[in-house]
Copies of this chain bind each other. A is one copy, B any other.
Amino acid sequence: MFKVFEDYLSEKISLSPQDFELIQSVAVIKKLRKHQYLLQEGDIWTYKAFVCQGLLRSFRTDDKGVDHIIQFSIENWWAGDIESGSLGHPSKNNIEALEPTTLLLFSSKDFEMLETKIPVFKDFVTALISQSYIASQNRVHDNISMNSEERYSKFLKTYPQIANRVPQHMIASYLGISAETLSRIRKQIQKK
């Protein structure tokens, strides 16, 4: 399972066998069954987690009990809660496995150690956060500038590998519309 992460890293940066050994030495493999939670609202998140296989949703539940999906995380992406992790606050998020999922878990302490000992790794992580910020800004822009149909179409184009692995009503939740509205939008699109 570590191989997945090794391949991922190899594509992005150049590391020595010793670096990989060091990384592997502090990586903890964690498996989640479908419907299991990696994080629950109120918990404090103190890790970094890389998804080797599977699919997770990060969401918040509002006072009416409705879920709102912040993010899907699949293979070769990261999961967790930066806000809780970096500020030490209890998390507002839940993270649930939508498929059997395998993760690599790093404690914050170990992760910092890796960043210290492997500067390119640190730079890579910094760049990653920067990328995430860019993506998030673009999502904000989509939310304020596109109508529901446009957002849905863009989602399909941008994340085809997610779109056909999660139930529709979760895509609706991610887009900020009701499941019924999404169903009707799909009907509209079909007609064309």
Contacts and interface: CB of A to CB of B under 8 A. Distances in A.
A136 to B, nearest CB: 4
A105 to B, nearest CB: 20
B134 A137 contact: no
A12 to B, nearest CB: 15
Interface in A121-160: 126-127, 129-130, 132-134, 136-141, 143-145
B141 A60 contact: yes
A163 to B, nearest CB: 17
B70 A130 contact: no
A86 B145 contact: no
Interface residues of A, number: 31
Contacts of A143: 140, 143-144, 176
Given A141-B60, A144-B143, A144-B175, A134 B70 contact: no
Interface of A: 60, 62, 66, 68-71, 82-83, 86-87, 126-127, 129-130, 132-134, 136-141, 143-145, 173-176
